[in-house]
Amino acid sequence: MANPVYPCLWYDNQAHEAAVFYCSVFQNSAITAETPMVVCFELEGLKFMGLNGGPLFEFNQSVSFFVSCSSEKEVLYYWEKLCADGRVLIPLDRYDWSGKYGWCADKYGLTWQIYLNSTGTVSQKIVPLFLFSNLQYGNAEKAVNYYNSLFENSEIQGIIRYGKDAPQPEGLVMHSQFTLNGRIFMAMDGPGDKHLDFNEAVSFVLECGTQNEIDFYWDSLTKEGREGMCGWCKDPFGVSWQIIPGQLRELMANPSKAGKVTEAFLKMKKFDIETLMNI
């Protein structure tokens, strides 16, 4: 089975509150595990993690979440729920790409694109979308090809480029859709300032079953990226990843081991499964 890939959302000690809110908005949703530091939850069957990381990082439009809706009524439902106490980035209206679409930030700052999927081309309810802007402007297609070459069970499902008379340079990515380990992602190019750069507010967790898998993904992502602590790293485009052993959850659930395991991995950059398992 392909290694699970899922988003981790960084909060200033609001992870539980945010998880409860999102579970109230989306159907087939539930909190699945919780510690003082981390809240795991599922929305429409898709896994998310909320992290109580403090005030270091804030959400911006570099990573948003695309919500595919089958009717205008459904679009309005999600728009009203997710915009409440938030702010509008692109007003809800009819556009060339959709009969009903809007982009908003929720009350925690996380941004959502609500879309009437009248053609049924997006089969996943909630899709992470990368916006390649500022220093990464124009790198969307390069990144999609890079991710597709790195992750198993992955496929580029389509790329739509700007044409000759478009508001952005011809050939840049207006929209793309691809899968990584079976989960759908999207990417696009869009101009913007430094406030739209990728940061640790949204990272992507990759659970690995073996040390060889950890070594492969860590070494590949950091080759032209950057190493961090505790399994965190940045890829060549500045997107943050957490490369973790799948066994970590079980270890942390063991009261007799959790403290020592935490003490051990806080000293690590790349995770060493054997060291953790032998504690």
Unique residue bearing structure tokens 């005030």:
55
* DSSP bridge partners of 208: 245
Those residues with Cβ within 8 angstroms of residue 144's Cβ, 6 or more apart along the chain or in another chain: 156, 159, 173, 176, 178, 187
Decide if 94 contacts 141 (C-beta within 8 A): no
Least Cα distance to 92 among 74, 118, 109, 110 occurs for 74
Question: C-alpha 174: how far from its chain's center?
Answer: 19
Q: Report the relative pairing of strands 98-105 and 87-95 from DSSP bridges.
A: antiparallel
Tens of pLDDT, residues 17-28: 999 999 999 999
Stretch 210-214: mean pLDDT: 95
Q: What is the CATH number of domain 58-196?
A: 3.30.720.100
Stretch 136-164: mean pLDDT: 95
> Token pair of 124, please?
């996943």
The H-assigned helical ranges of the chain are: 15-25, 72-83, 140-150, 211-222, 248-252, 258-265, 273-277
The pLDDT, as a whole number, for residue 123 is 87
Stretch 253-257: mean pLDDT: 76
Residue 207: helix, strand or coil by DSSP?
A: strand
Residue 52: helix, strand or coil by DSSP?
A: strand
- Helix pair angle (140-150, 211-222), 10° resolution: 160
Confidence class of residue 1 from pLDDT cuts 50, 70 and 90?
very low
Decide if 25 contacts 68 (C-beta within 8 A): no
Confidence class of residue 2 from pLDDT cuts 50, 70 and 90?
low
CA distance 221 to 227: 9
Confidence class of residue 225 from pLDDT cuts 50, 70 and 90?
very high
HSE at residue 193, side-chain half, CA atoms within 13 A, is: 1
Where is average pLDDT lowest: 92-101, 165-174, 196-205, 270-279?
270-279
CA distance 274 to 155: 33
Decide if 157 contacts 219 (C-beta within 8 A): no
Tens of pLDDT, residues 160-189: 999 999 989 999 999 999 999 989 999 999
Unique residue bearing structure tokens 């505790």:
230
CA distance 235 to 41: 25
Q: What are phi and psi of 166, to 5 degrees?
A: -80, 160
Unique residue bearing structure tokens 């979440």:
65
Could you tell me the pTM of the whole model? 0.94
